[in-house]
Amino acid sequence: MRVDKYLKVARVLKRRSVSKELADQERIFVNGRRAKPSTDVKENDIIIVQFGNRELTIKVLDTPKQASKKDANLVFEVIEEKRILKEDTNVT
């Protein structure tokens, strides 16, 4: 399954277009490599998503075509969730 679709089906992100945009901005990694929206994911893959001021690391447990809201948390396991401190870009 494509990583952009997986993140939407697993309800990590609300829209597939957001997943695609993050991948295009090189903010999604699959098994340590930058992911394109079409990158294939399978069970046991590790996905890192950087969005806003957070970085979420998850392990893929299943790749269903669809997942109900109550079953969405069964398709992945959160390994780590951390805040990202943005660097101050002002030069004085």
pLDDT averaged over consecutive 10-residue blocks of the chain (92 residues)? 93 92 95 96 96 93 84 87 72 52
What is residue 53's DSSP assignment? T
Does residue 91 belong to any structural domain of this protein? no
- Do 59 and 76 contact (CB within 8 A), yes or no? yes
Pairing of the two strands 46-51 and 28-30: antiparallel
- Do 60 and 6 contact (CB within 8 A), yes or no? yes
Domains: count for the chain: 1
Does residue 70 belong to any structural domain of this protein? yes
Does residue 47 belong to any structural domain of this protein? yes
What are the structure tokens assigned to 27, written together?
Answer: 């903010």
Q: In this predicted structure, what is the pLDDT of residue 72?
A: 75
Any idea what the CATH number is for the domain that residue 14 is in? 3.10.290.10
Does residue 89 belong to any structural domain of this protein? no
Domain extent, residue 21, equals: 3-83
Q: In this predicted structure, what is the pLDDT of residue 46?
A: 97
Does residue 51 belong to any structural domain of this protein? yes
Does residue 7 belong to any structural domain of this protein? yes
